[in-house]
Structure 1
Amino acid sequence: MNELNPLEQAVYDLIPRGIENCRKYKDLHSHIDERSFKKIIRALRLKGKVIGAIRGKQGGYFVATNEEERVIATRQFEAQVKDEMAIVSAMKKAELEEIA
């Protein structure tokens, strides 16, 4: 597994363990703007950290601590990939419009 840089480690340490402890960005950001925070979360995930994000009022970020939480953390990405592949497939099958 890739080592974390100090900023990644600091953000990773902010994220609560377990879905029951999930917390929203505004409660975690520690003076990091939201765009940068999300980039760091992406980098952490690519380095093998299983960080879930639940949408909605009761949602937030969490580090998965068991297989059930891993499934929840990855489900949204699987759905997104499936949706994007459906778009790619439809676009490949579509008739092109000619420019007059």
Structure 2
Amino acid sequence: MNELNPLEQAVYDLIPRGIENCRKFKDLNAHIDKRSFYYIINSLRRKGKVIGAIRGKQGGYFVATTEEERVIATRQFEAQVKEEMAIVSAMKKAELEEIS
């Protein structure tokens, strides 16, 4: 697994373990802007950290600690990939418009 840089480690340490402890970005006191936070979260995920995000009022971020939590954490990405592949397929099949 890739080593984390100090900022990645600091953000990773802020994220609670277990879905029952998930917390919203605004409650994590990350002291970075939201865009940077999302970038770091995705970097952590690419480095093999299983970080889930639950949408909605009761949602937030969590580090998966069980196989069930891993499934929950990856489900949204699988749905997103499926939707994006459907878009790619439709675009490849579409007729191109001619410029007049």
- Identical residues among aligned pairs (%): 88
Q: Structure 2 unaligned runs (5+)? A: none
The C-alpha deviation readout for 1:54-82, integer Å capped at 9, x for no partner, is: 00000000000010000000000000000
Aligned to 1:93: 93
- The answer to whether the 8 Å contact 1:17/1:63 transfers is yes
Segments of 4+ moved more than 3 angstroms:
none
Q: Structure 1 unaligned runs (5+)? A: none
Q: Give the structure-2-normalised TM-score.
A: 0.98
User: How many residues are aligned here?
Assistant: 100
Aligned to 1:5: 5
Aligned to 2:69: 69
CA distance in 1, matches of 2:71, 2:59: 16
The root-mean-square deviation of aligned C-alpha atoms, in Å, is 0.6
